[in-house]
Amino acid sequence: MKKLISFFSVLLSIIILNSCKSSSPAVSSGKTKPVPKSNSKALSTEEHLQADYLFFNAIKEKSIGNPDKAKELFSQVIRIDDSNDAAFYELAQLYYQKEKFQDALFFAKTAAQLKPANEWYQLLLADVYMNTGKVNEAIAIHGKLAKSNPNQIDYYFNWANALIFAGKIEEAIKVYDMVEQRIGIEKDLIVRKERMYLKLGKIDKAASEIEKLIKENPTDLGAYSLLVELYQANNLFDNVLATIERMKKINPSSPYIYLSMAEYYRSIKDNGNSFEQLKLAFRSPELDSEIKIRILSSYFPLVSFKEEMLQQALELADILTVMYPSEAMAHAILADFLNMADKPKEAVAEYRLSLDLDKDNEQIWQQYLFKLNETGDNQKMLTECEEALSLFPNNPVFYLLNGVGNYDLKDYPKAVEILLSGSKLVVDNANLLIDFYSRLGDCYHELKNDEESDNYYEKALKLNPKNAYVLNNYSYYLSLRKVSLDKAESMSKQSIELMPDQASFLDTYAWILYQKDNYNEAKIWIEKAIQHNGSSSATILEHYGDILFKLQLTNEAVEQWKKAKSAGSDSKLLDKKIADQKLYE
């Protein structure tokens, strides 16, 4: 008996749930025709219960991420009860989310016709209309919703947005005027209207909108700044200067005046004075640090094109750290620009200061560790990487960097251990996984485990057959072992096609040709490596000497071996080669 009571309790809950589905605020739907009822009939109690049961399960399937199953169940509901507006609405939503807008249109229109007073149905129908090119129909819906619900300001903005999309700018402005009558003068609304007038080319009208803000709060210099920007953008420089004079009367030392003057000088190409005004603004405690950081961030896309921009950014970033020595982001931005200025040690110091102030920024940790690795301080990089791992144990990048640190310190077993652990944490990031596999290939090579080394290079190339670095490393190690030389030559040649100016890649190709006894061709390619900044590489110079010796150019070979020695070669056979003037392999 208890089971029977429980069953009917569930059904009762479903019925109540379904009946509450359409209890949104009522609104007229406009010119809509009722859904034909010729096939409709009164449902039996059993049919009601079955429809409610299917609807409940459809909602459940939708909530757990099974939209196709949900669609099937909602469709069954409609076949039983073709007046179930909630089922039509749910189907419309599902098709809309899949961007099947024509299907969504049928169901959305039907839901809205069955229950015109439901605002949610009307809003969805308007969205579907917008996506099917029926903009005027969407405008009509938004207009009716706004007029029927004058206190729902969002409906007015929806209406205006639809008008703007249709290119009906003047009508959109009228809608914004309606909003202004209800909420008064507000900055966001004024800026919207300003932009609309600018689209129409009515600069005076746009300016008059901002003057409303100024009239509302005559001491708000931010409003004057908007007016300066407007005149600046339209080359009305006399108006710019006149507005700045108005600002000076309110607060002559305001940073907004400095910013406005900086923009004015920039527009007349007086970059020196523009930068001086910008520095004054940065030194002002009245200007929020967030605004200063935003201005500095705008330099990032510029510094790679002009050295002058990089120097300005460095100076402004330095001012920022002096003004806000306890703000982590200030030090991080300075570090970024020092990095761009090729000052790795200074960048490392600023990144560390930033992390001392805020250790929870993963992005800064990554930049810091990458730059620390670049400086060659492997032991410190490894120590710092351990700290990062303790804070972010699930970030695979820190495992990769830890593995790199151990590899550079020649602790290959430890490097393999950490790289294998980190590779298991990589999700949906093929490039990162390639880095792990490539490094594992390097480590296993050093451990003389050629089978595993080759295995991980193959895994990396399976993910990206055109990864130039993997192609180069794999082919070079094959050449050292004097195995699969044809395969090595093919991979090396492909790496050069991908990156033709890499000295190490050119050296690899030359060395493979050397191992295949093709000394004349090897000489051509090793000399290309020398020409592409390879003249400081001890390995390349020693290879050059070996190739020359094979070509019976003994004196020239010894000369290159000596250069390799001066370049810091740790080759065990190099001294013997030089002393005996003979090739040892």
Tell me what pLDDT residue 40 has: 54
**Complete DSSP assignment for 183-246:** H---HHHHHHHHHHHHHTT-HHHHHHHHHHHHHHSTT-HHHHHHHHHHHHHTT-HHHHHHHHHH
Top mean-pLDDT range of 6-10, 299-303, 472-476: 472-476
Which whole number is the average pLDDT over 125-149? Answer: 95
Tell me what pLDDT residue 375 has: 87
Q: Which two tokens stand for residue 201?
A: 């080319």
Tell me what pLDDT residue 157 has: 95
Element (H, E) at 571: none
524 vs 85, 178, 498, 544, 551, CA distance in Å? 78, 78, 19, 10, 12
Tell me whether residue 559 is exposed, middle or buried, using C-beta atoms within 10 angstroms of its C-beta: 0 to 12, 13 to 18, 19 or more: middle
Tell me what pLDDT residue 183 has: 93
Which whole number is the average pLDDT over 215-220? Answer: 92
Nearest CA to 478 out of 499, 446, 454 is that of 454
Instruction: Name the 3-class secondary structure at 35.
Output: coil
Which whole number is the average pLDDT over 152-177? Answer: 95
Tell me what pLDDT residue 12 has: 31
Instruction: Name the 3-class secondary structure at 251.
Output: coil
* pLDDT, mean over the chain: 90
Amino acid at the residue 534: G
Nearest CA to 454 out of 477, 431, 434 is that of 477
Instruction: Name the 3-class secondary structure at 537.
Output: coil
The answer to whether residues 90 and 58 touch, using CB atoms and an 8 Å cutoff, is yes
Please give the share of the chain, as a percent, with pLDDT higher than 90: 84
Residue 37 has pLDDT above 70, yes or no: no
Higher pLDDT, 305 or 345: 345
Tell me what pLDDT residue 1 has: 32
- In this predicted model, what pLDDT tens digit does every residue of 415-430 receive, in sequence order? 999 999 999 999 999 9
256 vs 164, 181, 224, 238, 284, CA distance in Å? 32, 30, 9, 18, 10
Domain boundaries, the chain: 298-375, 535-585
Per the confidence metrics, is the pTM higher than 0.75?
Answer: no
Amino acid at the residue 453: S
Which whole number is the average pLDDT over 482-495? Answer: 96
- In this predicted model, what pLDDT tens digit does every residue of 494-528 receive, in sequence order? 999 999 999 999 999 999 999 999 999 999 999 99
The answer to whether residues 82 and 38 touch, using CB atoms and an 8 Å cutoff, is no
Which whole number is the average pLDDT over 253-278? Answer: 92
Residue 36 has pLDDT above 50, yes or no: no
Tell me what pLDDT residue 404 has: 93
- CATH of 298-375 among 1.25.40.10, 1.10.3720.10, 3.90.550.10, 2.102.10.10: 1.25.40.10
Binned at pLDDT 50, 70 and 90, residue 571 comes out as: confident
Question: Rounded to an integer, what distance in angstroms lies between the CA atom of residue 379 and that of residue 383?
Answer: 6
CA 83 to chain centre: 46
Q: Which two tokens stand for residue 272?
A: 């020196």
Tell me what pLDDT residue 304 has: 79
Tell me what pLDDT residue 302 has: 87
- In this predicted model, what pLDDT tens digit does every residue of 374-418 receive, in sequence order? 888 888 999 999 999 999 999 999 999 999 999 999 999 999 999
Tell me what pLDDT residue 13 has: 37
Cβ-Cβ contacts under 8 Å for 456 (sequence gap 6 or more) = 437, 438, 440, 441, 444
- In this predicted model, what pLDDT tens digit does every residue of 337-375 receive, in sequence order? 999 999 999 999 999 999 999 999 999 999 999 999 888
The answer to whether residues 344 and 376 touch, using CB atoms and an 8 Å cutoff, is no
Binned at pLDDT 50, 70 and 90, residue 41 comes out as: low
- In this predicted model, what pLDDT tens digit does every residue of 73-84 receive, in sequence order? 999 999 999 999
45 CB neighbour count, 10 Å cutoff: 7
Range of weakest confidence among 9-18, 239-248, 446-455, 570-579: 9-18
Range of weakest confidence among 264-268, 329-333, 463-467: 264-268
Q: Quick one: CA dihedral 247, 250, 252, 256, positive or negative?
A: negative
Binned at pLDDT 50, 70 and 90, residue 19 comes out as: very low
Residue 218 has pLDDT above 70, yes or no: yes
H-type alpha helices, 409-531:
412-423, 430-446, 450-463, 468-481, 485-498, 503-515, 519-529
- In this predicted model, what pLDDT tens digit does every residue of 187-197 receive, in sequence order? 999 999 999 99
Question: Rounded to an integer, what distance in angstroms lies between the CA atom of residue 353 and that of residue 363?
Answer: 14
